[in-house]
A and B are shown apart, each in its own frame.
Chain A
Amino acid sequence: MAIKQNAPRRKLSFSFKQNMFAYLLLFPSFIFLSLFTFYPTLKSIHLSFYSGPMTRLQYSGLEQYKEVFTDDIFRKVMLNNIIFVIGTVPTSLFLAMYLAIWLNKKMAGSALLRTSFFYPTVIPLIAVANIWLFIYTPQYGLLEKFLNAFGADGSNWLGSQSTVMIAMIIMIIWKDTGFFMIFYLAGLQNLPKDVYEAAMIEGAKPFQIFRHITFPLLMPTTLFVMIVAITNAFKNVDHLYIMTKGGPDNASNLLLYHIYEVAFTNWDLGKAAVLTVVLIIVLLGVTAFNYLFLDKKIHY
């Protein structure tokens, strides 16, 4: 801009004006960010060094952390969350990629099928939990009736420690696969067509094409979707409220739900703060991975 080449004094006053202008534009966003992101984050970090009842909080250094990290429930919850990530993320990503590859072609019925896979995305998780609670109910549930038709008997899927996690994982795969499929469909549409033509001429088999062309070219999409999926696995815990309350014996409990219990049932502020800090670190870690690793991979 021409004004910038003016005398230093005018430039200074101009940039002061411009600074103020920008700050004013950012002010409305910033006030809400400060109140509901920065301040609560700092407050959690601060509180995590304190312990005791709400009215008589005492500085306790890392004592609270030590207590949390040696707590059996916390370990179980963290392990559950890791199992939950391992159970949901690779399966739903793989399924999403598979569906996208076959539904990418314009064919009769493919739009209908895409809808069938995508609609769970728009249903609130709490409503999904209602529906699946009845699917999993012993004796009258949909799954039980289905198994009965084959002469088999189901078990108490949500009531038993050995099956509750797998039941949740299947439900979340049902809910999220269609969402991830959309990203893969977008990714597929951006792939270079000439590479495929060349491969066809060379006589490559479909699986070879997938392994050597489609899969590596979809890598940026996969990494992006993976970050979203991992973050979701820590963030979305609504279903626990309806289906299991984290039970039986914490077998299905996840970190954010555990925070909810600790904070709003036990009113243990210090512990809730430590847990919140742990969750923040996990999420920052996942996103840092995104920016340090994914961003480099995305341009080749």
Chain B
Amino acid sequence: MYKRINYSIIIILGIVFFIPLLWVFITSFSTSKEVIGSSFPLWVSNPTIQNYIDAWNAAPFLTYYFNTFVIVFGILIVQIFTITLAAYAFARVNFRGKNVLFILFLLQLMIQPEILLFPNYQVMSQLGLVDSKLAVMLPYWASAFGVFLLRQTFKQVPFDLDEASKIDGCKWWQTLWHVYVPSAKPTYIAFALVSVSHHWSNFMWPLIITNSDENRPLTVGLAKFAQSYETGAQWGMVTAGTVMVILPLLIAFFIFQKQFVSSFMHSGIK
């Protein structure tokens, strides 16, 4: 009895949570007459892909996709390099000022680059980088979060393995490459998923720092696109644009669902 009531509540909630996604898909295939007119919006009687064609022609989505890819992977690749080195230093090297430096790294967890919109804009304009993809990426090239995540994993690598490889004549980078990096593969995957989905979604910083379509990522492109079509008649087109932006993420999510969930969990536990 008790169980049944709770499960009913949860199933109803589940349906309610799912409706916005269902609705955005349906609307993206509806004619503009149907979007406004129909009294039951979760059904489409004359499905059309015209909205997608119109949206695709109305804004340079291909450029936006390309920019998002460059930005997201441009951030990730450099992050992996910087966090690997820093995590190795914090996990396995004793040096003067380790604690102070560690606390300085901690600061980035609290003061994340996205809240420093305005001073970071000034830094970029001093560097002459306003309106470039590089400017979107640079503030994220160091990741305290990644360093902490990876440091934890590196610490679990048995020290004997490290020493054995050194006795075998490995240089430190060879040890890092052959011993530490392979053992941290799940951590790298977790970090990559969190980083990619985070930067795919990032909006305020790219909005401020880019002002041309050549450098805008999908999120900013979508916002600009949606704002020029606010009336109900063009919802079909705007929802089509929205679907184009969220679809890659949703597909990735459904394929890597287990990894996604566990990496978000992983990243929280730290």
- Given the known interface contacts A22-B95, A126-B219, the answer about A179 and B116 at a Cβ–Cβ threshold of 8 Å is no
B 229-254 to A, binary, CB cutoff 8 A, 1 in contact else 0:
00010010011011001100110111
Q: Would you call B49 an interface residue if the criterion is a C-beta within 8 Å of the partner chain's C-beta atoms?
A: no
Our pick among A133, A273, A287 for the contact of B118 (Cβ within 8 Å) is A273
Our pick among A36, A115, A123, A125 for the contact of B116 (Cβ within 8 Å) is A36
A sample of 10 more A-B contacts (CB under 8 A), given A28-B86, A102-B7, A130-B226, is: A29-B86, A33-B104, A37-B113, A40-B119, A43-B119, A124-B246, A130-B242, A134-B239, A260-B204, A287-B109
Interface locus among A65-73, A85-93, A237-245: A237-245
- Given the known interface contacts A38-B104, A140-B35, the answer about A32 and B141 at a Cβ–Cβ threshold of 8 Å is yes
Closest 8 CB pairs of A and B: A40-B119, A124-B201, A32-B142, A22-B95, A25-B89, A36-B139, A263-B118, A238-B203
Give the docked Cα–Cα distance between A35 and B120 (Å).
8
In the complex, are the beta carbons of B249 and A122 less than 8 A apart?
Answer: yes
- Given the known interface contacts A145-B39, A241-B223, the answer about A273 and B123 at a Cβ–Cβ threshold of 8 Å is no
Residues of chain A within 8 A (CB-CB) of B121 are 263-264
- Given the known interface contacts A41-B111, A287-B109, the answer about A35 and B10 at a Cβ–Cβ threshold of 8 Å is no
Smallest CB gap from B19: residue in A: A142
In the complex, are the beta carbons of B147 and A29 less than 8 A apart?
Answer: yes
B 103-126 to A, binary, CB cutoff 8 A, 1 in contact else 0:
011011111111111111111000
Interface locus among A13-21, A56-64, A194-202: A13-21
Interface locus among A76-84, A159-167, A211-219, A275-283: A275-283
Counting contact residues on chain B (CB < 8 A from A), the size range is 35 or more
Interface locus among B56-64, B179-187, B257-265: B257-265
- Given the known interface contacts A32-B141, A134-B235, A148-B39, the answer about A283 and B201 at a Cβ–Cβ threshold of 8 Å is no
Q: Would you call A131 an interface residue if the criterion is a C-beta within 8 Å of the partner chain's C-beta atoms?
A: yes
Task: Please report which residues of chain A, range 103-150, place their CB below 8 angstroms from some CB of chain B when the two chains form the complex.
Answer: 103, 109, 112-113, 115-127, 130-135, 137, 139-140, 142, 145, 148-149
A160 CB to nearest chain B CB (Å): 18
A134 CB to nearest chain B CB (Å): 6
Smallest CB gap from A177: residue in B: B17
A199 CB to nearest chain B CB (Å): 16
- Given the known interface contacts A124-B200, A127-B242, the answer about A284 and B119 at a Cβ–Cβ threshold of 8 Å is no
In the complex, are the beta carbons of A39 and B268 less than 8 A apart?
Answer: no
Smallest CB gap from A36: residue in B: B139
Our pick among A18, A149, A206, A260 for the contact of B117 (Cβ within 8 Å) is A260
B92 CB to nearest chain A CB (Å): 9
Residues of chain B within 8 A (CB-CB) of A102 are 6-7, 10
- Given the known interface contacts A123-B249, A142-B41, the answer about A130 and B222 at a Cβ–Cβ threshold of 8 Å is yes
Residues of chain B within 8 A (CB-CB) of A182 are 261, 264-265, 268
B17 CB to nearest chain A CB (Å): 5
In the complex, are the beta carbons of B223 and A242 less than 8 A apart?
Answer: yes
Q: Would you call A97 an interface residue if the criterion is a C-beta within 8 Å of the partner chain's C-beta atoms?
A: no
B254 CB to nearest chain A CB (Å): 8
- Given the known interface contacts A32-B142, A186-B268, A259-B117, the answer about A241 and B18 at a Cβ–Cβ threshold of 8 Å is no
Residues of chain B within 8 A (CB-CB) of A284 are 110-111
Q: Would you call A251 an interface residue if the criterion is a C-beta within 8 Å of the partner chain's C-beta atoms?
A: no
Task: Please report which residues of chain B, range 8-44, place their CB below 8 angstroms from some CB of chain A when the two chains form the complex.
Answer: 10-11, 13-15, 17-21, 23-24, 27, 35-36, 39-41
Our pick among B107, B203, B268 for the contact of A38 (Cβ within 8 Å) is B107
- Given the known interface contacts A33-B144, A36-B113, A263-B118, the answer about A22 and B203 at a Cβ–Cβ threshold of 8 Å is no
In the complex, are the beta carbons of B39 and A149 less than 8 A apart?
Answer: yes
In the complex, are the beta carbons of B85 and A135 less than 8 A apart?
Answer: no
Residues of chain A within 8 A (CB-CB) of B264 are 121, 179, 182
Smallest CB gap from A146: residue in B: B41
In the complex, are the beta carbons of B261 and A30 less than 8 A apart?
Answer: no
- Given the known interface contacts A123-B246, A256-B115, the answer about A25 and B265 at a Cβ–Cβ threshold of 8 Å is no
Residues of chain A within 8 A (CB-CB) of B23 are 131, 135, 142
Q: List 6 A-B contacts (CB under 8 A).
A: A23-B95, A37-B142, A38-B104, A123-B249, A145-B41, A256-B204
B64 CB to nearest chain A CB (Å): 12
Residues of chain A within 8 A (CB-CB) of B257 are 115
